[in-house]
Amino acid sequence: MDIKANLALIPDPRIERCKKHLLTDILLLCIIAMVSGVGSVEDIAFFGITHVQWLKQYLALPNGIPSADTILRVLGRIDHNKFEECFLNWTRGYFRKLAKPGSVIGIDGKTARGSATDTERGIHLVSAWADALGLVLAQVKTQEKSNEITAIPQLLSALDLAGCIVTIDAMGCQKQIAADIIRGKGDYVLALKENHPEVYREVEELFPEKELGEPKYTEVAKDHGRIEKREAWLNADITWFEGKKDWPGLKGFGCIRSTRTVKEVTTVEYRYFLTSLTDTAQFAHSVRSHWGIENKLHWVLDVAFREDYARNRKDHSAANLAVLRKITLNLLRLEPTEKYQKQKLSLNRKRLYASYNPDFLLSILFNL
């Protein structure tokens, strides 16, 4: 089912006599404006006014363009759980078509800082990210970062994990979460830190710094004057581990040593993991891919979409605007530019190009 059909399933929170504008028109206007580089609700309304004749070819707009206040009021009242479910249903449809066996799904949270008030913290959004595809798969809203432990199982139960590798930071390194992933026929790489002090100590002792020997996998990256060497070890002998029965699917313990050199200053960091994988290269690739959710999702939302500067906070508006940004991001990532340009375009240039090339804008929106 395409996104327009999914949007039509969202319950309209307004009473009948107050519906001057169709709910799908309001949501599609937001998406079209965001694809064209618009960010704030006020600018979305302005985009609608300046493009009203063009928009009427594709939207009903029985009473013209809704005002910024109307858009914000409607976004605040839409049930964010229903909107998140709509988003998931849409991504589930094309993820399985595009995903390859061994695809990495990274799960991590981000706080929308602009939604904070003097008395309340900003909302926390936990997202699932398909790194190889560069696409967001799902979002769950929580009140704060500590609630990630309850939000992650919600994501896992909804996602199609079969044949995929799920990566989660230390917050999600939980026995029940490991069980949920295995039940979904997926594999996992869970970062291990001192929140499991006894297990952490045992795994740390398993990889003594001076006795690691030759790494089973090595990768060197150079970027902006920084040189980073990542070395990986995977120990598949878990017979000694007394807690192995408590971690469903556990097949090994992993260690990553990162050696970074910046301006002739070298630092070394060791990180440890619990995993259901047995191949060292696959384990190392999964760990590396997890950082995509920071670099290609959270960073992009902050820099390109200026999410942390969005001050919308009334009712459900912050969470629903976050879903709209992720829909927009996926649409932009799904649309290649080679048939319009002889080169790939950055996300910002895609939005700029869409703002003045109706054919390209329509090609993006066709994925709606």
User: Rounded distance, CA 305 to CA 329, Å?
Assistant: 9
146 pLDDT band, cuts 50/70/90, is low
Q: Tokens 């094309």 appear where?
A: 94
User: Rounded distance, CA 354 to CA 287, Å?
Assistant: 35
Domain 82-301 falls under CATH 3.90.350: yes
What are 270-322's pLDDT values in tens digits?
999 999 999 999 999 999 999 999 989 999 999 899 888 777 777 889 999 99
**Token output for 150:** 């309850």
Find out whether 272 and 290 touch, Cβ atoms under 8 Å.
no
Domain ranges, ordered by start, for the chain: 3-81+312-365, 82-301
DSSP string of 327-343? HHHHHHHHS--TTTSSS
Find out whether 28 and 4 touch, Cβ atoms under 8 Å.
yes
What pLDDT score was predicted for residue 338? 60
- What is the pLDDT averaged over residues 219-227? 84
User: Rounded distance, CA 144 to CA 176, Å?
Assistant: 20
**Token output for 196:** 């499991």
The proportion of the chain whose per-residue pLDDT surpasses 90, expressed as a percent, equals 64
- What is the pLDDT averaged over residues 155-178? 94
Find out whether 270 and 257 touch, Cβ atoms under 8 Å.
yes
- What is the pLDDT averaged over residues 350-357? 90
State which amino acid sits at residue 267: T
Residues counted in the chain: 368
What are 33-85's pLDDT values in tens digits?
999 999 899 999 999 999 999 999 999 999 999 999 999 999 999 999 999 99
- 313 three-class SS: coil
1 pLDDT more than 60: no
The model carries a pTM of: 0.90
Burial (CB count <10 Å: 0-12, 13-18, 19+), residue 82:
middle
What pLDDT score was predicted for residue 102? 92
Find out whether 368 and 28 touch, Cβ atoms under 8 Å.
yes
